[in-house]
Amino acid sequence: MIESSATQPWLSLMTFAPLIGAIFIVISRMMAKKNDDGIIEGPELEQTDRNARIIALIFTSGAFLISLGVFVLYDASLADFQLVEEVEWLGGGISYKMGVDGISILFVLLTTFIMPICILASWDSIKSRVGDYMIAFLVLETLMIGVFCALDLFLFYIFFEGSLIPMFLIIGVWGSKGVKEFAGITMPSRVYAALKFFLYTLIGSLLLLVAMAWMYSKAGTTDIVALQQFDFPAGAQKWLWLAFFASFAVKMPMWPVHTWLPDAHVQAPTAGSVVLAAILLKMGGYGFLRFSLPMFPIASIDFAPLIYALSIIAIIYTSLVALAQEDMKKLIAYSSVAHMGFVTMGIFTITKQGIEGGLFQMLSHGFISGALFLCVGVVYDRMHTREIAAYGGLVHRMPLYAFLFLFFTLGNVGLPGTSGFVGEILAMVGAFQVNSWIAFFAAFGVILSAAYALRLFRQVMYGDLTKEALMAIPDVNTRELVMLGALMAFALYLGFNPGPALNVFSPSVDLLLENFNASLAAGGVQ
Amino acid sequence: MGIFETLFHALPELVLVIGAMALLITGVFAGDKYFREISYASVTLLSVAAALAIFGPAPPTESIFDGAFRIDAFSTFCKVIIYISAALAILMSERFLADEKVGRFEYPVLIVLAVFGMSLMVSATDLISLYMGVETQSLALYILAAFNRDSNRSTEAGLKYFVLGALSSCLLLYGASLIYGFSGSTSFEEIARVASEAESNTGLIIGLVFLISGLAFKVSAAPFHMWTPDVYEGAPTPVTAFFAAAPKLAGMALFARTLVSSFPSVLEDWQPVIALIAVASMAVGAFSAIAQTNIKRLMAYSSIGHMGYALMGLAAGTAQGISSVLIYMAIYVAMTIGAFACILMMRRRGGMTENIADLSGLTKTNMPLAIIFTILLFSLAGVPPMAGFFGKWFVFFAAVDADLVWLAIAGVLASAVSAFYYLRIVWFMWFDEAAEAFERDSGPVLRFAAWGAALLMFPLLTVFIGPLAQVARRAAAALF
């Protein structure tokens, strides 16, 4: 049933290219001269740091080029998995199997596109332990691409869970300063954020592990295609769905398990926040579409109201919370939670528009929120504070920056013409087909998002430039302009011309819905 | 089967026991200055025994020594790992013992004798050979715990271990005698036959519970774990490394063989007992380790927890379950040896440090060691893609497959809690300010053991977990 258009392991090459880059950095460090204590110092250190940056940029760009090649090989008119590779691994139905379809291919491209930008964003702002930092990012990229390419649930789990390790280190080592008191222990707040991030996600995913064991014991395989066709009994579907939900809801994150996200975002270095917002959060939505809907259709119908409720709460409540934030990154983090509410709402309307809207919203959020975190990074690098009150009147000194920031702010609000609009409107159209009240409440979120986003923009950009420290602040440099410009181009292009992306989604979403309705009919539910 | 043919099949054990005696005699005449040579000779003995176990005569179809001793794929699997880990433990101790000035020739010989006991344990198919194996092993281990006889802590550890160990041996023996009384035989095969034919097995099960208690003590499973932290902390570090690895595997193998081959018909009676012990061990391992500041104590609680996971596979009672126990224990032994190699490298200005806080900022002072330790810790925590995760996957799957979903859920919750204390060490190493650096000259053996274990955990076993699972499945099939 699988029509693979190539037997070459393009996907594996793309997935592991960044890892090879990490190995090169290790080698370059091993070859560097060390002092008696085995530590690299002085000009030698500068040299290895420079090498690490360049190697990381080369390999992330290389992975991006390979992913473009994959996209060329990919036939968007087919719904099935393509470029499939399969190698025996654990035996007994668990294998190393990779492949992409319309749902995953664009997330792969998003990942490979965002990563070089992250490396560029860290070019000057990361000064300590540059080699380690680049290695962590390269390893993280391998794991993230793997998540979207894995066609075996077990393999998916390895990538999904493995991505915790590099992110844990990125937040903990390169996170910002500050101290936090927790349970009687005083610890740096970046450590608190890193631990919270790790443990929250771990607990969620461990339940998925048990569910996976149960599914494997019944179906005898963890092949995703086979599991999607396997009819799990309706009673069991409920529990399995909840276990998967635990994992993806934390990752998404959905209210009320979203509290790790603001902490992680605030503490993470700029590029860490970008990866977190642009890619890691998408794994949750991707998981719902790849596993929850096709494998547990009956439970998905049953639990859809729960998802609607949580999504609406996320949209309205976290938007209100965002209104009250003093910290720019925290504000954007809460707005991410609200936007992910649209995604979950759209997906669980189980209509073509809703699902495509959810997918599109994830894609667009990847560009826009990633760009917003980069924008915060731009001023943070200059002023070393993220407090909204510390800024004001920046438009006088940084007109170009103000323009870019305004564009992404409006994209975040969902202004027509930006990609943010397309996702939201599709998700709402989907919601209207199910229940107009849901769409009604979700629309409030759009209004609130305008309120908090424009408030942020006004306080940071407008007003008189009174703060002494801001007098000499320079505008965006070429490197920053390239990064933000690239993201802006995509957000604009997808906003005016969403067709190409929707056409890629469409066949796979159609197939998903077709199978979904077929297995519902087979299960006697209508 | 003639006596020579029988002995021929027990060649690895014979090599060990005769070799150990010969080394003991040599040592008495040669004295402690030949400590090194005797160590190397012991390692050679263990290597020869491992080679014989793998490449030696094909296993007999029947148990030898009148049905008391069975050689099959299961025993071979365990023996090879025990021999290798014991050999590594001897090599890893050399430097430590020389520095502490306790390099006496009995040390390697005692390890070989303990290993001989473990060989008996993994092959025992009779209550008498079971008890003999356990005691041979334990007696050697008691002395090893107290090996640094001038240190209060070490002698205290030895004494504690001895007193509690003797108590557990009593339980074991009492259980064995009850079982003998009710079944009329000491042979596993015969007990299994009687148990499956009898209408009521109450007496037998009371005996079995005693037996399980005794064995749970040997593998330090809760609620019989109290000795573990004190003994681990008090015993010389290389001895702890040895304690944490090989004897655990031997005990677990004995546990598995006893339950599966002599009590298959009363599975529903012992399954809840093992499941409860598993849950208790996981909980103790997860919660008690959080507050530890001494890394050896932390490893003690961690190993209690790990025994809980392994017992989860045993509780399943299926071939799947036993193979998962074997995979888990093989990975556990490798992780533990590696972790203790790292702990043995925590040395500054001639003295060992055991505080977790001493690892602060290790990434800034000694990156290679930090990387190794980080890989091992994530593996111990069971985070993919490290091998420790695969071990957990197999036992969770075995439990779920045997309809023990609640046990698997308890297991994942415990492993989420235990992730915290492993992460705490990672946090010290990566996020904190640098403490004083450790000595860099740690000797080739420790470095080899640590690197080897770390590379096994990632990426070697990640890629080649399939073959290991295959071998373990074949080994487990020998019990059914």
Q: What's the domain count of chain B?
A: 1
Model confidence at B20: pLDDT above 60: yes
Which pLDDT does position A525 carry in this prediction? 56
Distance separating alpha carbons of residues B266 and B192, to the nearest angstrom: 9
User: What are the backbone dihedrals phi and psi of residue A310, each rounded to the nearest 5 degrees, phi first?
Assistant: -65, -35
Whether B273 has its CB under 8 Å from any CB of chain A: the answer is: no
Which of A176, A202, A207 to mutate: most B Cβ within 10 Å?
A: A202
User: What does the pLDDT average to over A37-65?
Assistant: 88
Contact B466 A90 (CB under 8 A): yes
Q: What are phi and psi of A96, to 5 degrees?
A: -85, 105
Burial of A186 (0-12, 13-18, 19+ CB in 10 A): exposed
Phi, psi of A48 (to 5 degrees): -65, -35
Token pair for residue A102?
């319309």
> How confident is the model at residue A78, as a pLDDT?
85
In A, minimum Cα distance to B431 occurs at: A173
B101 inside domain: no
DSSP string over B71-111 = -SHHHHHHHHHHHHHHHHHHHHHHHHHHHHT---THHHHHH
Q: Is the pLDDT of residue B387 over 70?
A: yes
User: How do residues A155-197 score in pLDDT, each as one tens digit?
Assistant: 999 999 999 999 999 999 998 887 877 777 778 888 999 999 9
Give the mean model confidence (pLDDT) for residues A12-40. Answer: 87
Question: Which residues from A are below 8 Å from B437, CB to CB?
Answer: 37
Stronger pLDDT, B248 or B200, i.e. the higher one: B248
Q: Specify the DSSP element, H or E, that contains A94.
A: strand A94-100
Are residues A419 and A491 in contact, defined by beta-carbon separation less than 8 angstroms? Answer: yes
Tokens of residue A500, six digits: 């190409």
Contact between chains at B416 and A203 (C-beta distance less than 8 A): yes
Distances (CA, A) of B139 to A128, B116, B118, B131, B161: 53, 12, 12, 12, 10
How many residues comprise chain A? Answer: 526
CB-facing half-sphere around the CA of B480: CA atoms within 13 A:
12
pLDDT for B46 beyond 90: yes
Output the six-digit token pair for B71.
């050689």
User: What is the ipTM, given to two decimal places?
Assistant: 0.92
Please tell me whether residue B442 adopts helix, strand or coil conformation.
coil
Backbone angles phi, psi at B345, to 5 degrees: -85, -5
Q: Report which residue type is found at A469.
A: A
pTM given for the model: 0.93
Query: Please, which pLDDT band fits residue B252 given cuts at 50, 70 and 90?
Result: very high
Give per-residue burial for B257-279: e unless 16+ CB within 10 Å, then b: bbbbbbbebbbebbbebbbebbb
CA atoms within 13 A on the CB side of A85: 18
Please state the rounded mean pLDDT for residues B140-155: 91
Residue B113, token pair as written in the block: 């004798």
Sequence-distant (6+) residues with CB within 8 A of B167 are B217
Distance (Å, rounded) from C-alpha A99 to C-alpha A146? 10
Q: How many CA atoms lie within 13 A of B67 on its CB side?
A: 11
Q: Please indicate, yes or no, if residue B273 is contained in any of the structural domains.
A: yes
User: Predicted confidence band at A2 (pLDDT cuts at 50, 70, 90)?
Assistant: very low
> pLDDT tens, B230-246?
999 999 999 999 999 99
Query: Does a structural domain hold residue B469?
Result: yes
User: Can you count the helices (H) and strands (E) in chain A?
Assistant: 22, 4
What are the tens digits of pLDDT across the range A449-492? 889 998 888 888 888 877 777 778 888 888 889 999 999 998 99
Report yes or no on B39 lying in a domain: no
Confidence of residue A5 (pLDDT cuts 50, 70, 90): very low
Please give the distance of CA A109 from its chain centroid, rounded to a whole number.
12
Q: Which residue from B364, B426, B469 is facing A90, i.e. has the nearest CB?
A: B469
Q: Which one of B282, B377, B418, B430 makes the best mutation probe of the A interface by having the most chain A beta carbons within 10 Å?
A: B430
Dihedrals phi, psi of A160, to nearest 5 degrees: -60, -50
Query: pLDDT at position A524, please?
Result: 64
| Chain A residues with CB within 8 Å of chain B CB | 37-39, 88-92, 129, 132, 154, 157-158, 161-162, 164-165, 168-169, 172-173, 188, 190-191, 194-195, 198-199, 202-203, 206-207, 209-210, 213-214, 216-217
B311 is a domain residue: yes
Phi/psi at A224 (5° precision): -65, -40
Residues of A in contact with B404 (CB under 8 A): none
For residue range B217-228, what is the model confidence (pLDDT) as tens digits?
Answer: 999 998 999 999
Is residue B211 one of the residues assigned to a domain? no
Query: Does some domain include residue B114?
Result: no
Contact A213 B389 (CB under 8 A): no
Q: Which amino acid is at A296?
A: F
* Mean pLDDT calculated for residue range B278-285: 95
A222-274 tens-digit pLDDT: 999 999 888 888 889 999 999 999 999 999 888 888 999 998 998 899 999 99
- Dihedrals φ, ψ of A9, to 5°? -80, 60
With CB atoms and an 8 Å threshold, state whether B365 touches A39.
yes
Q: Please give the sequence-ordered ranges of beta strands (E in DSSP) within A123-236, or none if there are none.
A: 179-182, 185-188
Q: What is the pLDDT of residue B343?
A: 93
At A368-402, the pLDDT tens digits run 999 999 999 988 888 888 888 888 888 888 889 88
| C-alpha A345 chain-centroid distance | 17
The pLDDT, as a whole number, for residue A1 is 37
Q: Is B397's Cβ below 8 Å from some Cβ in A? A: yes
Percent of chain A with pLDDT over 70: 98
Mind spelling out the 3-state secondary structure of A333-363? HHHHHHHHHHHHHHHHCCCHHHHHHHHHHHH
Kindly determine whether residue B419 and residue A199, on different chains, have CB atoms separated by under 8 Å.
yes
* Candidate from B389, B401, B412 with C-beta closest to A207: B412
CB-based contacts of B352, cutoff 8 Å, min separation 6: B96, B237, B344, B346
> Span B294-319, mean pLDDT?
94
* Candidates A157, A172, A198; nearest CB to B431: A172
- Element containing residue A14 per DSSP (H, E): helix A10-31
What pLDDT, in 10s, does the model give residues A97-153? Answer: 999 998 899 999 999 999 999 999 888 888 888 889 999 999 999 999 999 999 999
Q: Is residue B48 part of a domain?
A: no
Mean pLDDT for all residues in chain A: 88
Angstrom distance (rounded) from CA B110 to CA A147: 50
Helices (H) and strands (E) in chain B, counts: 22, 2
Question: Rounded to the nearest 5 degrees, what angle is found at the Cα of A196, between the Cα atoms of A190 and A197?
Answer: 90
Cα–Cα dist B264/B194, whole Å = 11
Nearest CA among B219, B240, B247, B310 for reference residue B82? B247
| pLDDT of the residue at B279 | 96
Instruction: State which residues form the domain around B441.
Output: 264-480
Reduced to 3 states (helix: H, G, I; strand: E, B; else coil), residue B382 is: coil
User: B383, B424, B432, B442: best mutation site toward chain A, by most A Cβ within 10 Å?
Assistant: B383
Helices marked H in B263-384: 267-288, 295-316, 319-344, 362-365, 367-381
What mean pLDDT is reported for chain B?
A: 91
**Residue A455 falls in which region: left (phi positive, over 0), alpha (psi -120 to 50) or beta:** alpha
How far is Cα A75 from Cα A83, in angstroms, rounded to an integer? 10
Collect all residues with Cβ–Cβ distance below 8 Å to B187 and sequence separation of at least 6.
B67, B68, B125, B126, B127
Q: Is cis: bond before A256, omega within 30 of 0?
A: yes
Nearest CA in chain B to A93: B466
Q: Chain A interface, mutation test: which of B374, B397, B405, most A Cβ atoms within 10 Å?
A: B397
* Beta carbons of A209 and B412 less than 8 Å apart: yes
Mark yes or no for CB contact A164/B431 under 8 Å.
no
Q: What is the DSSP letter of A123?
A: T
Angle among Cα A60, A61, A66 to the nearest 5 degrees reads: 95
Strand partners, A87: A96
Q: What would the mean pLDDT of B44-71 be, rounded to a whole number?
A: 87
User: What are the backbone angles phi and psi of residue B337, rounded to the nearest 5°?
Assistant: -60, -45
**What is the distance in angstroms between the Cα of A39 and the nearest Cα belonging to chain B?**
7
Q: Report chain B's terminal Cα–Cα distance, integer Å.
A: 24
Q: Please report, as a single letter, which amino acid is at residue B197.
A: E
Q: Is B309 on the interface with A (CB under 8 A)?
A: no
> Could you give the CA distance from residue B85 to residue B24 in angstroms, rounded to a whole number?
21
